[in-house]
């Protein structure tokens, strides 16, 4: 007993020394306090911050004017969509790329695919992905990193392009009129909470079940999930009637379709083979192919797989696509230096350095390494402005926050902002140079599901 007490006392002594060496002692606090001089200018900033947001006070008064909205090259698009209070930017963006092609190809005045239809199957497939992941890891302890990641992330409505391609190729598409939005599809927070709670409950049951019971038990669980989704989102149609009108408003045809026959007739691309996913991630080696474990929407679908490239190579591909009137899936760190009212992403929008009399010198690589930046939102890249010397000056994306947001529903970004906060681009293979396509022959480097660069885009 005496030895135990002596040992505990020794540990307490070591802990006390460590705390004294690493903590804020009185001498250090005295030195820290001298940093604030309480000058008139510092008091003025402190007084302003007491009643006004940092974002408002950091506005750069020299950059208030709206930027030039002319673009040398622009994809023809019609209409702006609105994801409302949901995390479905990835789905709206993917469907907006296809919508632009369909409107031009079939001489339509306007058109919108049903996002709700694919949302239904996305949530059902993600439920299965989670449940099967639980089955696959059921022999591992609860504190295993992969098991812990699964339980922390049972389901969400965020995602990325492979979700678009896998879901469409499996389930097809329908017009918005065939399955319109509901309150729950527009406002997904509570629905996600209910689904997450059920899936975590199911996870414990699957981990305790006998091997021979797992498939039947999972089917029963998915049946209940299906019922919840029907109540929230409606019944996805297996066939429907749709009347096609041309740009003049004249009736062209009225036919019955299945979701797959509709896709085959009006779009017809093999999305899983026709598109290449690109990334600008300076924390990893360029010219390599990377794959993210569990970063998919369908259990037997594709993980997110991308080629990591310097930003100039990505711009080369983006320009080729825009010049050929083809929009692209694009994602970035949209919250940085964003003037929402103007709809402009520009590093000069906000001057945090002057407001706080400090510097923020980290580059793109360092921001990624320290979790200060990462891809957060997907939009549709539709325009670029190239000056007379061949230099790109700005870009524009079609957003999914409604026509009243930003610049007529769009967001304009300076070329400098593009360099610093753009992360992902999905382009058709025909716009990707042969030397880059050749990189796909590599064996992908597998990254874990919890890699910080691969949180779902919302």
Return the biggest CA–CA distance within the chain.
96
CA-based R_g, the chain, Å: 26
Measured distance CA(205)–CA(214) in Å, rounded: 10
Chain centroid to CA 413: 17
Based on the residue annotation, tell me whether 377 is a catalytic residue of this protein: yes
Q: Which two tokens stand for residue 329?
A: 């899936």
Backbone angles phi, psi at 330, to 5 degrees: -140, 140
Tokens of 126: 């993600």
Q: How far apart are CA 422 and CA 417, in angstroms?
A: 8
Set 96, 166, 399, 410: catalytic member: 399
Q: Which residues contact 103 (CB under 8 A, 6 or more apart)?
A: 77, 78, 109, 110, 111
Residue-wise DSSP of 334-393: TTTTEETTTTEE-GGGB-HHHHHT------HHHHHHTTS----EEEEEEEEEE-TTS-EE
Determine which one of 116, 297, 332, 377 is catalytic. 377
Verify whether residue 21 is a known catalytic residue: no
* Phi, psi dihedral angles at 392 (to 5 degrees): -75, 135
Report in angstroms the alpha-carbon separations of 8 from 4, 14, 16, 17, 349.
Answer: 6, 10, 12, 14, 56
Angle between helices 115-136 and 89-105 (to 10 degrees): 140
Q: Nearest Cα to 279, choosing from 457, 406, 88, 155?
A: 457
H or E element in which residue 395 lies: strand 392-398
Q: Residues 138, 276: contact at Cβ < 8 Å?
A: no
Q: How far is CA 285 from CA 17, 276, 299, 365, 387, in A?
A: 43, 18, 28, 12, 31
Question: Rounded distance, CA 192 to CA 200, Å?
Answer: 12
What is the rounded CA–CA span in Å between residue 137 and residue 222? 19
Catalytically annotated residue among 67, 89, 232, 332: 89
For the annotated catalytic residues, the residue numbers are 89, 377, 399
């Amino acid at each position: 007993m005496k030895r135990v007490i002596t040992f505990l006392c020794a540990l307490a002594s070591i802990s006390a020394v460590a705390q004294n060496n690493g903590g804020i002692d009185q001498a250090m606090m005295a030195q820290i306090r001298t940093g604030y001089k309480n000058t008139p200018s510092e008091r003025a900033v402190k007084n302003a911050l007491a009643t006004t947001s940092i974002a408002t006070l950091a506005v750069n008064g020299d950059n208030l004017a709206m930027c030039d909205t002319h673009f040398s090259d622009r994809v023809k698009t019609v209409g702006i969509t609105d994801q409302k209070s949901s995390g479905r930017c990835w789905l709206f963006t993917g469907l907006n790329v296809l919508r632009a092609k369909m409107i031009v190809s079939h001489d339509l005045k306007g058109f919108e695919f049903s996002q709700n239809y694919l949302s239904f199957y996305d949530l059902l497939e993600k439920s299965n992905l989670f449940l099967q992941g639980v089955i696959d890891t059921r022999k591992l302890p609860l504190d295993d990193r992969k098991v812990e990641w699964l339980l922390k992330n049972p389901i969400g409505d965020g995602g990325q392009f492979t979700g678009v391609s896998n879901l469409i190729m499996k389930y097809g598409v329908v017009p918005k009129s065939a399955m319109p939005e509901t309150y729950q599809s527009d406002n997904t927070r509570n629905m996600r909470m209910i689904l997450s709670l059920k899936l975590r409950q199911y996870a414990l049951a699957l981990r305790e079940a006998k091997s021979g019971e797992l498939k039947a038990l999972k089917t029963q669980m998915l049946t209940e999930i299906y019922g919840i989704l029907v109540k929230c989102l409606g019944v996805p149609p297996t066939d429907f009637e749709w009347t096609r009108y041309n740009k003049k408003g004249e009736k062209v045809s009225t036919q019955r379709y299945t979701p797959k026959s509709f896709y085959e007739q009006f779009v017809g691309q093999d999305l899983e083979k026709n598109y290449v996913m690109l990334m600008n991630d300076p924390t990893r080696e360029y010219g390599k192919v990377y794959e993210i474990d569990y970063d998919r929407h369908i259990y037997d679908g594709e993980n997110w797989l991308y080629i990591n490239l310097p930003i100039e190579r990505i711009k080369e591909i983006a320009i080729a696509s825009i010049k050929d009137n083809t929009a692209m899936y694009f994602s970035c760190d949209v919250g940085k230096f964003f003037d929402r009212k103007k709809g402009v992403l520009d590093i000069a929008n906000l001057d945090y350095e002057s407001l706080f009399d400090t510097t923020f010198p980290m580059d793109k690589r360092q921001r990624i390494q320290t979790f200060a930046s990462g891809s957060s939102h997907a939009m549709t890249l539709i325009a670029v402005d190239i000056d007379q010397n061949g230099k790109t000056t700005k870009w524009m994306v079609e957003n999914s926050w409604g026509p009243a947001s930003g610049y007529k529903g769009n967001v304009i970004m300076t070329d400098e902002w593009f360099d610093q906060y753009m992360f992902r681009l999905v382009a058709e293979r025909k716009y990707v140079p042969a030397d880059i396509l050749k990189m796909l022959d590599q064996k992908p480097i597998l990254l874990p599901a919890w890699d910080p660069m691969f949180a779902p885009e919302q």
